[in-house]
Amino acid sequence: MQKKFKPNVLDKDQTVYFSLGEGPGMKWTMWIGPSKCEIKEGKLVENADNFLKTSADLFVQMITGKHKPGMMDFMRGKISAKDPMALQPLFKAFGA
């Protein structure tokens, strides 16, 4: 994912926590901004600026641009986020 990062898409630094399921390799913390992207396994911050909870499969579809999250995804519980509107610029930072 870090290899797909496109600098200067975001306008501020932020932390994002991803929960893609239960078990090893399913929880991640990302520090991202205009010129940086660092991702580490685990929930490494107590209060992230944003969080995204979804399935690993749907996450891959979103980050590759194959699925654009819509209101129904949130209403049906397929996706949960602290700030859903902030997800679109985040995905654009990876070319989606």
Q: Which domains does the chain have, with CATH numbers?
A: 2-92 (3.30.1050.10)
Place of tokens 């679109």: 88
pLDDT digits (tens, 9 = 90+) for 17-38: 999 999 999 999 999 999 999 9
Report the distance separating Cα 41 and Cα 89, nearest Å. 22
Strand-pair category, 14-19 with 50-53: parallel
8 Å CB contact between 84 and 74: yes
pLDDT digits (tens, 9 = 90+) for 75-85: 999 999 999 98
Report the distance separating Cα 91 and Cα 39, nearest Å. 14
